């Protein structure tokens, strides 16, 4: 079994729940994909990070960023595996709102003007939260190279992200998992 097939097996076993769910987008669904059940598992996270780096092999970028909490484990693993591969990268965590104390930053990390950033998330439905995260990086002086997700629910994110002018790399589409 190759790494992609192994990760697919882990996702199906750990992250797909059946039932009656309301998604962040407000849509109702008969299934829920909890990507964190895979990205908070040692082998699941390791495979996800390796496959994301492989997907980005032709991209030139300086940093990984994403909305906290879904992207947090991804960013940590990608930084560690990047170092293992001799790549120097930065990581940024993007808050939903600017914090009201301390540095009052929405983007935590060493974001500098002109940095090329890859936006990450575990699961995407419509793409709205990823586009807001991308805008926070842009507001901080960065540029978006690509958006990468573990699972695309195939409910509009591909079109929204393409419409915003970003390259989109889902490791899996929900139709491949159900």
pLDDT in tens, 74-112: 999 999 999 999 999 999 999 987 666 556 688 999 999
pLDDT in tens, 63-76: 999 999 999 999 99
Q: How far apart are CA 99 and CA 24, in angstroms?
A: 21
Q: Is the pTM of this model over 0.75?
A: yes
3 state SS of 6: helix
- Of the CATH numbers 3.40.50.2020, 1.10.40.60, 3.40.50.720, 3.40.50.10320, which one belongs to the domain with range 3-177? 3.40.50.2020
CB 143 within 8 A of CB 135: no
Paired tokens of 37:
């059940």
Q: Which pLDDT belongs to residue 103? A: 62
pLDDT in tens, 108-154: 999 999 999 999 999 999 999 999 999 999 999 999 999 999 999 99
């Amino acid at each position: 079994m190759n790494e992609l097939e192994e990760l697919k097996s882990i996702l199906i076993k750990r992250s797909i729940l059946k039932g009656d769910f309301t998604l962040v987008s407000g849509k109702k669904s008969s299934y829920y994909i909890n990507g964190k059940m895979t990205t908070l598992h040692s082998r699941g996270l390791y495979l996800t990070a390796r496959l994301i780096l492989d997907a980005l092999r032709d991209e030139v970028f300086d940093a990984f960023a994403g909305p906290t909490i879904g992207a947090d484990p991804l960013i940590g693993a990608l930084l560690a595996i990047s170092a293992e591969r001799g790549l120097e990268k930065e990581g940024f965590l993007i808050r939903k709102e600017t914090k009201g104390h301390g540095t009052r930053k929405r983007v935590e990390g060493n974001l500098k003007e002109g940095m090329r950033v890859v936006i990450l998330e575990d699961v995407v439905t419509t793409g709205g939260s990823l586009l807001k995260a991308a805008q926070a990086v842009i507001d901080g002086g960065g540029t978006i190279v690509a958006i990468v997700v573990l699972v695309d629910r195939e409910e509009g994110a591909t079109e929204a992200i393409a419409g915003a002018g970003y390259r989109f790399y889902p490791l899996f589409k929900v139709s491949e998992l159900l």
